Amino acid sequence: MYPAPFDYHRANSVDEAIGMLSDIGEGARVMAGGQSLLPVLKMRFDELTDIVDIGRIPDLNQIEENGNGVSIGALTTHSCIAASALAGSVPILLDCASGIADVQVRSRGTIGGSVASGDPSCDWPALLHTLDAEIQCQGPNGTRTLDINGFVEDLYQTALQPSEIITGIRFKRPGAGSGGAYCAFKRCAPAYPTTSVGVQLTITDGQVESARVALGSSGLTPIRAQQAEAELEGQSLGAGQIGRAADAAVAASDPVDDQRGSADFKRQLIAHLTKRAIGIAERRASGEQVVNSHEYY
């Protein structure tokens, strides 16, 4: 398994990386952890002229908390996030980070790479919808901050401009009364999820104040199921509300038949995972510790 020849450039700073990308132009691709890009190159599904390796740029792998603001550097690996104090107190992050692929992938793969890949099977883009995350980007025209909502525009296509890279992810730490869960259904560790659902609920006095429901591996992009959220918001949770939310999540999804299963099968899974994630999120919102892991078959 050998990629086609390409030129390799290692950037030591974000500015240098942007400069390299601008100079090379089309044909250049950014590599962070390489866990999405390298398999594609090795299978020769993509042949590019240049790789700009941003993986060793210092200071992009930090998790910082400022008040209730959280910022995760784009180069933070899944393993680092899973092991962080942040994930210890925001369990939906642990659900996601600890269940991505296998330990080798988690040790190399980064949150920024996962978001930038625009791959609907990646876990982070779906999950970040539940936290209303912002994507911090930097390009030749300076920095800008984009909403995760709409960031992935189409299959493998994001809102990033040419020569623009992701530098970090920002979101507000869920407050008291807020709980979330991310549930993926997978065949085995090296496989992408068949489908996944992330839910974050803020519950006050038994009523859902705000809800976020996001679906991964359920269409061409990660999908925020807003109708499902609407079914939950302002309600106290019962089987009826949860069932309607699950139905709405299914309605928002757009799965296809593939080797992971038929679209009908995936719809049934989405309904199930939505209910499961809501259940766990609710318990967590009430302060209960709930261990959650992805389902394997």
Partner 1 sequence: MSWVGKSLRRKEDDRLVRGNGLFADDEQIEGMLHLYILRSPYAHARIRGIDTAAAESLAGVACVLTGADIKEQCDPYMQLGPEPCDKIIDLPLATDKVVFQGEPVAAVAAETAALAMDAGQLIEVDYEMLDAVVDPEQALEDKIVLHEAAGTNRVWHSVFEYGDVDKAFEDAAHVVKIERMHFHRFASTPVENNACVAEWTRQGDVDFLCNNSFIGFAVQLLAPGLRLPMEKIRARTYDIGGSFGVKIWNYVYMALAALASRKCDGRKVKWSETRTEHLLASGHGNERTFLDTEVALDKDGVITGIRSRHIDDCGAYTRYEPLGCVIWAQVLPATYGVRNFRIDFTQTVTNKCPVVPNRGYSRMQHLWFMERVVDICAHELGIPADEMRLKNYVREFPYETPNGCVYDSGDYPMMLEKAKELIGWDEWKKKQAEARKEGRWLGIGIGTTLDSGTNNFGQAQIMNPYLPFSGNSEVCVIRLDFDGSVIVTLGTGPSGQGHETATSQVVADELNIDPAMVTVRTGFDSAWNTFSGHSGTYASQFAVTGLSAVHGACQKLKVEMRQLASFMLEADEDDLEFGVGDEGPQLAVKGTDKAINYWFMSNVVNNNNALLGGNLADVTLNVRHVYRPPFEAPDTEKKFGNLTLTYAAQLHIAVIEIDKNTCRPNILAYAAVDDCGSVINPQIAAGQVHGATAHGIGAALLETFNYDETGNLLTATFSDYCPITSMNIPDIQYGHIESPSPFSYNGAKGMGEGGGAPLHTISAAIQDALHSEGIIVNESHHSAPKVFERVNAPNREKVVSVESR
Q: Does residue number 14 form part of the binding site for partner 1 (CB under 8 A)?
A: no
Please report, as residue ranges, which positions from 165 to 194 form the binding site for partner 1 (by CB under 8 A): 185, 187-192, 194
Q: Does residue number 6 form part of the binding site for partner 1 (CB under 8 A)?
A: no
Amino acid in the structure at residue 41: L
* Sheet-wide strand order for 50-53: 7-10, 50-53, 28-31
* Residues 182 and 201: beta-carbon distance below 8 Å: no
Measure Cα distances from 109 to 31, 62, 139, 174, 261 in Å: 10, 15, 22, 25, 26
Rg (CA), the chain: 19
**Which of 127, 260, 278, 282: binder of partner 1 (CB under 8 A)?**
260
**Which of 7, 23, 27, 43: binder of partner 1 (CB under 8 A)?**
43
| Residue keyed to tokens 């993509």 | 46
Number of residues that bind partner 1 (CB under 8 A): 27
Which of these ranges, 16-24, 123-131, 256-264, 277-285, lies near partner 1 under the rule CB under 8 A?
A: 256-264
CA angle 84, 88, 89 (to 5 degrees): 120
Q: Does residue number 238 form part of the binding site for partner 1 (CB under 8 A)?
A: no
**Which of 13, 157, 236, 268: binder of partner 1 (CB under 8 A)?**
268
Q: Return phi, psi of residue 112, to 5°.
A: -65, -40
Amino acid in the structure at residue 279: G
Q: Does residue number 291 form part of the binding site for partner 1 (CB under 8 A)?
A: no
Q: How far is the CB of 15 from partner 1 (least distance, A)?
A: 32
Q: How far is the CB of 61 from partner 1 (least distance, A)?
A: 26
Q: Does residue number 44 form part of the binding site for partner 1 (CB under 8 A)?
A: yes
Q: For 135, what's the count of Cα atoms within 13 Å in the CB-facing half-sphere?
A: 28
Structure tokens of 233?
Answer: 């918001």
What is the Cα–Cα distance from 202 to 40, expressed in whole angstroms?
39
Nearer to partner 1, 173 or 272 (CB): 272
Residues that bind partner 1 (CB under 8 A): 1-2, 4-5, 43-44, 185, 187-192, 194, 259-262, 264-265, 268-269, 271-272, 295-297
